[in-house]
Structure 1
Amino acid sequence: MITVGKTQVLTIERITAIGAYLSDGSNEKDVVLLPEKEVPKNSRVGNEIEVFVYRDSKDRLISTTRQPKIELGAFAVLKVVDITKVGAFLDWGLEKDLLLPYNEQTVKVQKGRNYLINLYTDKSDRLCATMKIYPLLKADAPYKIGEWVEGYVYQINPEIGAFVAIDNLYHGLILTKDTNSDIHCGEKIHARISEIRNDGKLVLSPNKKAYKEIPKDAVVILTKLNESQGFLPYNDKTDAFIIKKEFNMSKSSFKRAVGKLLKEKKIKITERGIEKNGK
């Protein structure tokens, strides 16, 4: 049986002017088109081809030799490339972008940002993305208290905290008292396990010993200052998203690093931004 959303090896049943029709061999009527531009040269009837099967813009089954960034049932961090009346569209490596319906969003997504999603099929057998991944995660992570882990924030509840998918597999939570305004859905988190709850879910602490990050972050800022003739148009009023994009650090980390550089009198702050002393 040909499966939507999966990479599979199919056999060429016939070749036409618009492409090759592929089958899994179980049913001659159960075929899917591989467009002519993707059919390997010198292909013949009976040849096997590895393809990914999905639906085109008209909801017709179609296959591609391209490798998507995600397959059915899996998790991936994808970028929002467009927002329309029906939802957001994500870049998943294929010609037709992947739909993230509004009712599958845990937060209002923004164009250009990345979000952790799971791929599923809706009632019409169409591939869609969902940010509602809480019930899909496991609580038997093989980690101990004190170990450091990585994951992506997929939901934020102001009263509870930031929910994190550790290794895209396990439940993680950063309590509200340990979060800050810089944390957003889609952000990659490096945190220490501070507690393993009775239900097996992990409580994370990303701020432990944060002062140790200051020297590294300060070096990043100084390096960028040197590359920009001693001036950078950023300060504590700059949006956290821009800080993350330009410096690859949270706004709180940026402010700590700037504070250290100010204390050491290596920089000065003006209305225009940051200036290196003695430039």
Structure 2
Amino acid sequence: MTIGEYYELEILRQVDFGMYLKSDLGDVLLPVKYIPEGYKVGDSIRVFLHRDSEDRLLATTLEPYGKLNDFVALQVRDIAPHGAFMDWGLEKDLFVPVKEQPRRYQVGDIEVVKICLDHKTDRLLGVGKLNVFLDKDASELSEGEEVDILVFDESDLGYQSVVNQRYSGLLYKNELFQPVRVGDELKGFVSKIREDGKLDLRLNKVGVEAIDENAKRLIEALEKNDGELALHDKSSPEEIQRELKMSKKAFKKALGGLYKNKRVELLDSGIKLLN
């Protein structure tokens, strides 16, 4: 048993200021303000274990935004010379030491950290230097697989991300057709697994499935516009991106498939949906 995790604990006794719960770490206080109605001595209750501002072991029924070993996006509530304090859903903020910040955090910023346990002090803290924690063996994944993406850094090339709370991946800016920011949690797909274990990511499907998905999006756009769109193979990439949120290359592939299957008619003015 350790702090930073959820446990089902038995209520041992009740006092004016709360209830004491039985745990492997000793009796743990659940303050009265966190006790739901109807609980009594002998019941079990699900709680999160942490330490308060005076380093006392406490239980709470509040749910923080992450638990031990999670990668999580948090907002900087305050800064001090020795570190930053992150809002993570509990009264006591999560502390990120300066030495664990990849850059100096600023109040109001959203930053991604891993929730860790300092074994010397038995305190929870946040670590913003993430690469050391990310698995270089991505053999359990396959290209085209859907994954969870948590964006944690931006470069000229793209957005570095935590994939499935375990791996490192990159969303390339020239393949994005929607705004992306640090802290965003997205669904995406593995487009390539590199030899170093890092992943190339896309927010849309790849291969044949991507064409099918784009064709569906094109038909939906046509239906919303009374069956016609003023787009064609000579339309600019900017026009296509603005209307359909896809690249011109993806648009032409989807349009070609729909035309071949006699779902659309090509006009000088654009595209017409056929019944």
TM-score in terms of structure 2 length:
0.63
Match of 1:135, SS? helix
Mapping of 1:1-279 within 5 angstroms? 1=1, 3-24=2-23, 30-122=26-118, 123-138=120-135, 139-140=137-138, 142-144=141-143, 151-155=149-153, 162-173=159-170, 185-186=182-183, 193=190, 195-204=192-201, 211=238, 212-215=240-243
Asked whether the equivalents of residues 162 and 176 of structure 1 are also in contact (C-alpha less than 8 Å), the reply is yes
TM-score by length of 1: 0.62
Q: Is the 8 A contact 1:7 1:51 kept in 2?
A: yes
The Cα offsets for residues 35-71 of structure 1, whole Å up to 9 and x where unpaired, read as: 1222233433222111101000111111111111101
Secondary structure, counterpart of 2:108 in structure 1: coil
CA-CA distance at 1:108 after TM superposition = 2.2
Q: Which runs of 4+ in 1 moved over 6 A?
A: 175-179, 189-192
Q: Among the aligned pairs, what percent are the same residue?
A: 36
Where structure 1 has 5 or more consecutive residues not aligned to the other structure, the ranges are 218-279
Larger Rg: 2
Shift of residue 187 of structure 1?
5.1
In 2, Cα distance between the equivalents of 1:157 and 1:134?
Answer: 15
Cα displacement string for residues 204-254 of structure 1 (whole angstroms, at most 9, x for unaligned residues): 478x9x74432368xxxxxxxxxxxxxxxxxxxxxxxxxxxxxxxxxxxxx
Structure 2: which amino acid aligns with 1:127? L
What is the CA RMSD across the aligned residues, in angstroms? 3.4
Cα deviation, residue 117, structure 1: 1.5
The 3-state SS of whatever aligns with 1:5 is coil
Amino acid at match of 1:132: K
Q: How many residues align?
A: 209
SS of alignment partner, residue 46 of structure 1? coil
Question: 2:255 — aligned with what?
Answer: none
- TM superposition shift of 1:78: 1.4
Shift of 1:191: 6.9
Q: For 1:8-39, what per-residue CA distance to the aligned partner results, in whole angstroms no more than 9, with x for missing partners?
A: 01111221111111113x57xx1111112222
Q: 1:37 to 1:13 in 2, by over 3 A?
A: same
Q: CA deviation at 1:4?
A: 0.5
Runs of 5+ consecutive residues of structure 2 not aligned to the other structure: 207-236, 246-275
